[in-house]
Structure 1
Amino acid sequence: MAWSRVIGAVAGLVLLVAPVPAAAQTQKAGPPPVTVPALSNWAPGEGSYAFARSTRIVARDQESREVAGTLADDLRAAGRGTVPVVRDVAPRTGDIVVDVDPSAARLGAEGYELRAGARLTITGRTDTGAFYGTRTLLQLLAQGDRVPAGRTVDVPEYKERGVGVCACYVHISTEWLENLVRDMAYQKLNQLLLELKVKSEAHPEANTWGYYTKDEIRRIVALGEKYHVEIIPEINSPGHMDPWIENRPDLQLTDSDGVKQPSRLDVTQQAAFDYYTSLIDEYAQVFPATSWHMGADEYMLGSDFAKYPQVLAYARQKYGADATPQDAFIDFVNRVHAYAATKGKKLRIWNDGLTGANTVPVTAGTTVEHWLNVAVKPSELIAQGYPVMNASYSLYLVRGGFHSDTKGLYDQSWDPRGFEGEKLTSRTGITGAKISLWPDNGRGETENEVAVLLDPALRHIAQATWGSPHPDATYAEFTARARAVGHAPGWRDLTRVPLADGTYTFRGGGVTRDLQVARTPDGYVTLKSATSGRCLETRSGKLTLNVPLEPGSAVTEETCAASNTLQRWVPVPAPGGYELVNAITRMAVHVTDDGHLVQYPPDQRTPAVWQVTAR
């Protein structure tokens, strides 16, 4: 790693490390303690730091106290008991000292210094830097009560270290997202980009399933703020807009045959722009992020501009006879950029819409997330002054499809300079990198299965964006490093099933069913009728990405199939019994007045509470 060489994301800035004390110089240098990301400039000392029942967290000032409070919360969640946070006291043996020192310029915006000896001291120039020092401490204490004496200065290579999640069609549980935020922070990742739908008050016609309530988003954002993970929202536009405009044909782009296109927003209409910016305003109520991601990818996926002559006419009317249809698309991007700027937000877009067929440039300052190899290369974008993030397709995990080859990337010493179609030699202009989780076949894998697949990719992107991409000689050694530090304090095992395998009588909503409960390998249950021998499943209604997302669609008994993820259920404890939530749709079973089982979002219909007794 190179935190001794680089401050933040600024390439080439040399960090001078203070001389190692003579006592440490006489000691034979040992390997750094095990962390993810790994420490590279560890200067060993004599002895060790010991965490004990008498340990206190000494906070130097108010900023330090907030970091110390979070550390105390996490120590308690990790089973370390209640560790008091104190101020204005002299530290003693066994104490943890947290200090925010604005004069420590060498640490940059996110770096920290950690010194372990009779007591352990963490110093950051900012509260974020100090916070990351506490993540290192938690990882060390996850391996035992003692930390070897020594010192490190740990500064990230890249400013943006992220994960992108598309919950834009198929719902992802808030519990899963909260686990992700905790594990991201634990490994010093700082940016979660969420493409999702927030339940709209301004546009209730758009509230088909897949949305999150504003209170749910507020809880996730609050967790992100506590753990220094900025959560940036995305509403993909002007393509992939069908979750928002399927019930708004007046805003859909119409092709030359007069056919409405539910996935394409009509960029030639002022009403379409007003609609989209009203969503920005509504999202701002729950997302305080300083960025707005508008997607801007695949607008003409499966078609081309020739099918929409009105787009070319709009571009020429606005930009002259030499304008192209692509200019109308870029015009929409730039107008959103300008609007977002009035709200204090910087714009982010995907790169594939930048084909070079435009005469109108994208507004300066727009961050381009490069995922696909198209005509305009990352080096050209950087030369034109655009901040570029590496969101390479090789870093994707597609639910039920392509999975990133983390071992292959590690063995190749991949780092954020390695884009699709181009490998750069300099970090200049590259903001960082992210992995992306996509739901293309939403029923292909359950959330718990995705979590297992995600874990090594998460550790790898943390390593490659913070420091050296190859701290261990083999991938097996790197994965052993990850196992040693484990998950973040407060991370919940979502594979635990509260019902033992067996046959039970379920009573709820005036309905009684005798069901055989069997745990699945990924931590859900199947519910097999003791009468028919068939399994409960939701399959009716409108399918999106192979998933029945329509509220009110039936829950029926179907032929059991071990591979059918729509037959997997989550028994959620509730007062008086359990609610039954589908593992894929995340909708709960509701019993209608005539005794039928249907699925609904819990804010639309009250889930049935099932009293469960063993037979």
Structure 2
Amino acid sequence: MGAAGEDDRMDLIPQARLVRTEGGSVELGSRVRLEAGAGAEGAARWMRTVLAPALGVDFDADADGPAVRLAVDPDLGPEAYRLTVTPDGVRLTGGDAQGVFWGTQTVRQLLAPAAYRRAPSPGAAPWTLPVCDIADRPRFHWRGFMLDVARHFMPKDGVLRHLDLMAAHKLNVLHLHLTDDQGWRPEITRYPRLTEVGAWRHRTKVGLKESPLWDERPHGGYYTQDDLREIVAYAGSRHITVVPEIDIPGHSQAAIAAYPELGNSDVVDTAALPVLDHWGVNPNVLAPTEATLRFYEGVLTELLDIFPGTFVHIGGDECPKEQWRASPTAQARIAELGVRDEDGLQSALIRHFDRWLADRGRRLIGWDEILEGGLAPGAAVSSWQGYAGGVAAAKAGHDVVMCPQSQVYLDWRQAPGADEPVPIAHVRTLEDVYRFEPVPAELTAAEAEHVIGTQANVWTEVLDSPRAVDYAVYPRLAALAEVAWSPLPPPAERDWAGFEARMRTHYARLDALGVEYRPPGGPRPWQRRPGVLGRPSEGPPPIV
């Protein structure tokens, strides 16, 4: 801890904007007075239900001694907070309810890593907080994590656990990838076969296509609508928005397996298509018909009732056009709509759902392929193929979430060693993620305002268990959290040594949370996957 007035980060991750210490500490007793003003009730509830059991402390409105006082002052601004610890107790003021909540996450970090456990150890030393003054606010509004539950299903409790981990890192958007060729995960009551058929595959490729290995067990699962409402409510209590993704028009074979009329039946025998059991870009895409549009309007109607957030993700990526080129139905549709070609046809589909969502007070977001053929007027872009799509969208006045695969795809391998499990693509280390800059230098200040945030993506083709997801995601998501929250200098000037030093404390927090992260020295024996081929790439990844 620094001397009085020193700008000391106290191992906070993400790093706070301003930290001043005065020396000394305040000890929390077994009973602490907790006072919550209007707008701060949710943060107080979290402290009583999550933090109190970990500390073995009763937060009691009538307790004597140091008090924790929570309040809202809109003058601080959205999501900002001011935290002051004195010998008399704690004063935490947020610009809104979110700001108060993010401040409670900082309070937890100021305590020992054992504060991240679910119960205290017998005979543990008294809890103390350093005397300090912290002023903080986030750099980006969208601080996200994309979790693919379509390729390998993650039961509901696992999703709730990741929401807790996100909250601990001040991340506020869970992008939930719910459908793909290999599985359909949300219950849609008007189309029951989506989960009766589409949620299950007979077997699963182990590794990528180069691997000869198969898991012959059926794999699947789905979330009931009550499950999804619970996930949304749990996220909301942690000030996290859940953005659902329903893939249109590619990555749709699970839906076609359930309802063959959704596919290009004038080109292939869609009735014979199963839920896909292997990985890669798939030619079996949706038929661009009015019936398909009505079907997905029905899907989205039910999902809008569950997910209250502004954005709905419709995918739009990796849609091969071969079947449309061969399909008389698709070619007639191109003529009917008056578009130039198959790219224009995909653009017309995206524009349809852009209007449909806008009419219901929502906004469409899709992967950067939705730029092909012309971008829908209200659409936002998830820029994954590099920076180019995001730059083009921002220059055209569209909002962008920067998530280039070359920087923040967390399924990519973390080191060049042979021990890395199922090595995918180029090496992306913890330091690489820490040096990621979401705003491209070629944007003007006005254009840069359209970069509304950033997120890290984890695809689960080869991540077939919660332990494997933990290994891929952490600790790199902690670095992304700092990139998204903190006002860092340009990548080459970032204090990597300082971040690495702060991570030594943060690893202890992750240990307390039960996260099976990749250790700095490499995978533990049980984290390796000998004999399972990946697809490693040599050299530095291209930045496009």
Q: Same fold (TM over 0.5)?
A: yes
Partner of 1:172: 154
Query: Are residue 296 (structure 1) and residue 316 (structure 2) matched?
Result: yes
Map 1:441-456 to 2 at 5 A. 441=462, 443=464, 446-456=465-475
Partner of 1:397: 410
Partner of 1:116: 85
Contact 1:253 1:260 in 2 (8 A): no
Cα displacement string for residues 172-211 of structure 1 (whole angstroms, at most 9, x for unaligned residues): 1222211110010111000001122212321122223332
The correspondence for 1:379, drawn from 379, 387, 391, is: 391
Map 1:415-454 to 2 at 5 A. 415-417=437-439, 427-441=448-462, 443=464, 446-454=465-473
Q: Distance in 1 between matches of 2:83 and 2:234?
A: 25
Contact 2:257 2:271 in 1 (8 A): no
The correspondence for 1:272, drawn from 281, 292, 307, is: 292
Where does structure 1 lack aligned partners over 5 or more consecutive residues?
A: 1-24, 496-519, 524-560, 566-615
Residue 305 (structure 1) shift:
5.0
User: Per the alignment, in what secondary structure is the counterpart of residue 457 of structure 2?
Assistant: strand
Query: Are residue 340 (structure 1) and residue 357 (structure 2) matched?
Result: yes
The correspondence for 2:232, drawn from 179, 197, 221, is: 221
- C-alpha change, 1:406 and 1:423, in structure 2 (3 Å) is farther
Contact 2:31 2:57 in 1 (8 A): no
User: Per the alignment, in what secondary structure is the counterpart of residue 507 of structure 2?
Assistant: helix
Partner of 2:51: 75
| Structure with greater strand percent | 1
Q: Distance in 1 between matches of 2:377 and 2:530?
A: 52
Q: Distance in 2 between matches of 1:229 and 1:45?
A: 33
Partner of 2:34: 57
Contact 2:17 2:137 in 1 (8 A): no
Contact 1:54 1:94 in 2 (8 A): no
The correspondence for 1:316, drawn from 321, 335, 338, is: 335
Query: Are residue 366 (structure 1) and residue 379 (structure 2) matched?
Result: yes
Partner of 1:325: 342
Q: Distance in 1 between matches of 2:332 and 2:79?
A: 49
Partner of 1:554: none
C-alpha RMSD of matched pairs (Å): 3.2
| Structure with greater helix percent | 2
Contact 1:254 1:261 in 2 (8 A): no
Contact 2:384 2:404 in 1 (8 A): yes
Query: Are residue 130 (structure 1) and residue 100 (structure 2) matched?
Result: yes
The correspondence for 1:42, drawn from 7, 16, 19, is: 19
Where does structure 2 lack aligned partners over 5 or more consecutive residues?
A: 114-125, 179-184, 201-220, 274-283, 413-421, 489-493, 518-524, 534-544
Residue 462 (structure 1) shift:
0.6
Q: Percent same amino acid at aligned positions?
A: 22
Contact 1:401 1:441 in 2 (8 A): no
Contact 2:456 2:477 in 1 (8 A): yes
Contact 2:81 2:137 in 1 (8 A): yes
* TM-score for both structures, normalised by structure 2: 0.76
Write the letter of the residue equivalent to 2:13: V
Task: Give the stretch that moved more between structures: 234-243 or 292-301.
Answer: 292-301
Provide the aligned length of Structure 1 versus Structure 2: 455
Cα displacement string for residues 120-156 of structure 1 (whole angstroms, at most 9, x for unaligned residues): 1110121011110011001112347222222121010
Contact 1:292 1:348 in 2 (8 A): yes
Q: Distance in 2 between matches of 1:410 and 1:237?
A: 30
Partner of 1:98: 70
The correspondence for 2:191, drawn from 189, 192, 203, is: 203
Partner of 1:549: none
Write the letter of the residue equivalent to 2:401: M
Contact 1:162 1:192 in 2 (8 A): yes
Residue 163 (structure 1) shift:
0.5
Partner of 1:154: 136
Query: Are residue 461 (structure 1) and residue 480 (structure 2) matched?
Result: yes
- C-alpha change, 1:32 and 1:68, in structure 2 (3 Å) is same
